[in-house]
Structure 1
């Protein structure tokens, strides 16, 4: 049986999926738009702190004080950490268009898109964090304050929690045109996409995954990650499979903190619940506060946050979000993975939030009397939904009977032991108040109990997930297999702390719209950007020379495809007219060399190696590989020949006539 169109629609809108992704963005339209926030209010310790935190999930802790020096002095005096502080950088092109640049990051392409933002794969011109993911707010949500809030939360979590709990926070970069949150690029897939792969192999075409995998992903992966967040006062508020992404092997990260918020405020704040002190010293403190924290007072009414498929009944009812609700969502995720679907799955696909709420309240009423519905499976729930709609649409003259039969529910739903495990877990959560800490051990043991399979629940048709790590082609292997038909310059030098770039990250795209360098191949665009970036960022001279060579040699020795690379697309390589983009790159390349005194410095070919046991610094030859034997012994001569070649090529190109305009068609 195939999954119906509404179910597919639900997957598309709630759990964005894609290959080789970093992180999924915010979920579906159930997530209310956050309003702009004045960062100064939070810095001042305003009485409205609680409202500010909720209005944009969490509030930036950096001040908007005009005098940056004064702000830094204040920060130093207070001894406080400024989380998610924006880094002002320049932008080239229209970031995040492919080939555009924001500060040190070059955009390779889009990974996914959600309601509020899009995610893009980037590569850095710097040594560290070579691959990264950039989260950028979409049109109507730009300058909403959500990105700043997420930067604040991610930075705080990254510094406060064990490594691997969340992606590495790299920075919050802002230019005059836009902003982006840069974080660790995770090559693995999210749980939703992993489930999709298993679905394709299921003999019964269900959405289930193996019980063993469902238990591991929820009880052993997501629950501990959420517990770590809760211990520092942060609630996620959008727990779902697509917001847990595989790093490598069986390691996962929680991602997407656009809706996350702190439930802790300063003890002297008006909104602090002074009867419930925060038990941990770690929490997201205001910039000008180093005292204790308290739970924030629970609001009488809160707006809906999250995704209707997995949101707890308490969130639907307008209760203030707390750790209880994250764990409640986790249990729904488990039921969805282990059985294939939830009773309200079709309502969630149609964005019928009130129907989702009614179904959830019905299941948890009377001490979870109808909890077995949570395990009946997607086939049963889809058929039941269609049957209900058919009966509701029948006329008064009909006999009130449905022509849609209900399939046999999943055998697991008839296992009283497992149903009782769910009842026990949900009963515990339903008894918790805003400031109560969930019993994570009880929840974990309830999920672990599903591993006690009986004969009726054996997974004969579900394949288990393969956890073996797959490594991509190394950079060295990629270089070896790449055909080269011109002189090459390869720098071989130890690079502690430097992340190599695998050539496979570049796709041979021809990009024009929004690109900083027109339709040049993406890898070459990156090399040009790297060469220009080095001029103003104090890169070691021998590396600057190496990066310069990666641009100069292809310009001199590779054929320039004028049809692809020049504007208009009407040129040929032999038309004899001036190639303006080619000339511009030649001139830029020569200008970069002149800024470095044409690489005449001895440090271009030697560098100080202070890692030797002898405390006296020593100079060691930088090994250079070129494909002419004579040049290996005199690299300076080789560099001089390249410089002369650039000057000659510029002269020849300038002597040519201007190219004709693009032919106008009146058809």
Structure 2
């Protein structure tokens, strides 16, 4: 889904969805939202930053926020996992254990948000406007800008602050939509890699006890460990105070939106999150900020200089380098010059053209680019006064001061037509008319409606399109038994359309990569036949990568079930196993696409090694479940525990004596070529013998396929080429 400096984000399937998780008492208390997710997001640490602690710290913050904030405000925290390395050198995933030494790559498992972030929302909308008007723009409407900041971001930031945490990187891309339709306009705050608690235990060396804290807060690991070791899950956390302000702090955040105080090396606090939010609003409503070109070139010093000029802490023409942080005092800088708040509303075209002209002047060009005109909004005194009021408020806040969130909201809403501030500001009717003319259309929130599929459509995809992709073309349509559980709780919520779309994206990416490789080979003067790609993946991983994504998922699911046979109901394990086994027995294996090398063809008579491996893995995955011969695969079983075991034993005895028929599990089994109906009067469906017969036939088919493959000869290696026209069978001389 995305990649940053330290981590990559992935859309994943949770293989433990059908399993019963054994949570510690701490997690049971902490995770008050226990709803499971089949599709999840994983934030994975890049290998270059393994054991850096970045992911671990973010996981602690997200777990705290997920437990303390309303569920509609942050993604649900699911787990923190770390790749561990065994004594044999093999890697395996597992839950993080704080007592174990750091090892391997770690990841946060969290709720997957299907919507777009504010940055992409703005880009998509502006591209749509550009196509309509043929005029490039980065602006969104005043109405949308006010909604996204005053109604969405401020409540998110405030709720986060009320849990004792500051974000330290407030920007549009860190707010993501929860949904995709026009009536789903809620956002959640994400990316807490730079977030930090500004609350510490009272009396600690870092505490400023003159500012006590009586709201929820994130306990340090040492304090959390003490609570866990006490065994009292209802124990109250220790009293807390605000953290003592540091005299100097390193820069954290993004230059485009970082507050002026962060540039000036002041300790980051609640003030700076709100300050950054005001920059976000100005960027959205006008399309750009005065320092946007400098931020793009990572010139942090110029960003600071221009922000000081905007806020009157530096003269407009003063471009001397900022002072050394070590030479600064702990007091807040003062507004000594006339501010230039109107610059924040001049617009992208004005700022970019101004920067371009300045660069051309430095180069001594005789003819300079045309200077674009600023937006009329920058001459609207009412809007300027509202912004000035908001910035004056945050710039006067100290480290321990709490922002007035209602004041900031009211200042932003002054931009809406018809809103009047408490202060009487003369309104220029001509400017107001121009501002209205310049405003753009509102956002189309229903961006992916055309691509969404209903559940009924998804089911038809599963019957047709998925089988075609899974089994390859050329099948006769005889797909064998299909296994469907009628209990709604037993239905896998993973829609086939989700996998089909991902498979199509995978194929498109592979085609694009192949085309690029061919073009590169042609440019180098060879036909590309001798090109090879270096990879650190094992042969098995390479084999799996060639398989369709639905088949990869089914194999991963049955192998996970086999590793954890005691945490999954056996009838669910059978459902997953049949999803893999049936295509292997009754489907058509695409030898050309799935087997190793590029020289295999359908029906060449050689051993299909990848297919053989898949069949063996499928058979191995059934062993922990005794090959699904137990009646619990097909019938309801009483609850667990000693009482349940006694009931099961009694039912088995009565069944052997012919005294009682067990209660049927509600299973619908449709078997092509095995349309035998049950004669039992209990349930009117397919009988247990028919269910067991279907499973037995699948097992027989797998074993027969395995024996057949092992009788075949291995395929010869592909012809090797050492240059143009020089193959294994070539008459050319070879050294």
CA 1:472–1:340: 2 relative to 1, 3 Å: same
Partner of 2:668: 624
Partner of 1:562: 591
Among residues 118, 143, 148, which one is paired with 1:217 in the alignment? 148
Q: Does 1:229 align with 2:160?
A: yes
Aligned CA RMSD, in angstroms, stands at 2.4
Runs ≥4 residues deviating over 6 A: 510-513, 615-618
Partner of 1:67: none
TM-score (norm 2): 0.71
Partner of 1:431: 396
Structure 1 Cα separation of the partners of residues 159 and 10 of structure 2: 27
How far does residue 115 in structure 1 lie from its aligned partner after superposition?
1.4
How far does the alpha carbon of each residue in 1:458-489 deviate from its partner, in whole angstroms, 9 at most, with x for none? 15662211234848324543222432521232
How far does residue 314 in structure 1 lie from its aligned partner after superposition?
0.2
Partner of 2:436: 458
Structure 2 Cα separation of the partners of residues 563 and 145 of structure 1: 45
Write the mapping of 1:2-401 to structure 2, written as runs, cut at 5 A.
111-127=1-17, 128-176=36-84, 177-202=104-129, 203=133, 204-248=135-179, 249-285=184-220, 286-287=223-224, 288=226, 290-365=237-312, 366=335, 369-394=339-364
How far does the alpha carbon of each residue in 1:181-206 deviate from its partner, in whole angstroms, 9 at most, with x for none? 11111000000001001111333322
Partner of 2:458: 478
**Partner of 1:619: helix, strand, or coil?**
coil
How far does residue 120 in structure 1 lie from its aligned partner after superposition?
0.9
Higher RCO structure, 1 or 2 (CA under 8 Å, sep 6+): 1
Q: Mean alpha-carbon deviation: is it higher for 282-291 or for 370-379?
A: 282-291
How far does the alpha carbon of each residue in 1:428-455 deviate from its partner, in whole angstroms, 9 at most, with x for none? 0011000000000000000011002642
**Partner of 1:143: helix, strand, or coil?**
coil
Partner of 1:46: none
User: Does the aligned pair in 1 maintain the 2:282–2:289 contact within 8 Å?
Assistant: yes
Among residues 521, 524, 549, which one is paired with 1:522 in the alignment? 549
Among residues 693, 707, 711, which one is paired with 1:651 in the alignment? 707
User: Does the aligned pair in 1 maintain the 2:481–2:694 contact within 8 Å?
Assistant: no
CA 1:241–1:609: 2 relative to 1, 3 Å: farther
Partner of 1:503: 496
Where do 5+ consecutive residues of structure 2 fail to align?
18-35, 85-103, 228-236, 313-334, 419-431, 468-476, 511-532, 649-661, 678-685, 724-735
Structure 1 Cα separation of the partners of residues 249 and 583 of structure 2: 60
How far does residue 169 in structure 1 lie from its aligned partner after superposition?
0.6
How far does the alpha carbon of each residue in 1:129-176 deviate from its partner, in whole angstroms, 9 at most, with x for none? 111111112233221110000000000000011112111111111122
Structure 2 Cα separation of the partners of residues 234 and 341 of structure 1: 29
Where do 5+ consecutive residues of structure 1 fail to align?
1-110
Structure 2 Cα separation of the partners of residues 355 and 277 of structure 1: 38
User: Does the aligned pair in 1 maintain the 2:169–2:273 contact within 8 Å?
Assistant: yes
Among residues 544, 551, 561, which one is paired with 2:580 in the alignment? 551
Structure 2 Cα separation of the partners of residues 551 and 280 of structure 1: 51
Among residues 595, 601, 605, which one is paired with 1:576 in the alignment? 605
Q: Which has the larger radius of gyration?
A: 2
Corresponding pairs, count: 549
Partner of 1:91: none
Structure 2 Cα separation of the partners of residues 645 and 532 of structure 1: 20
User: Does the aligned pair in 2 maintain the 1:308–1:348 contact within 8 Å?
Assistant: yes
User: Does the aligned pair in 2 maintain the 1:133–1:185 contact within 8 Å?
Assistant: yes
Partner of 1:58: none
CA 1:350–1:472: 2 relative to 1, 3 Å: same
Partner of 1:75: none
CA 1:254–1:183: 2 relative to 1, 3 Å: same
**Partner of 1:606: helix, strand, or coil?**
coil
Structure 1 Cα separation of the partners of residues 83 and 40 of structure 2: 18
How far does the alpha carbon of each residue in 1:393-446 deviate from its partner, in whole angstroms, 9 at most, with x for none? 328xx7xxx633322211111110000000000000011000000000000000
Q: Mean alpha-carbon deviation: is it higher for 580-589 or for 341-350?
A: 580-589
**Partner of 2:128: helix, strand, or coil?**
coil
CA 1:467–1:416: 2 relative to 1, 3 Å: same
CA 1:368–1:162: 2 relative to 1, 3 Å: farther
How far does residue 359 in structure 1 lie from its aligned partner after superposition?
0.2
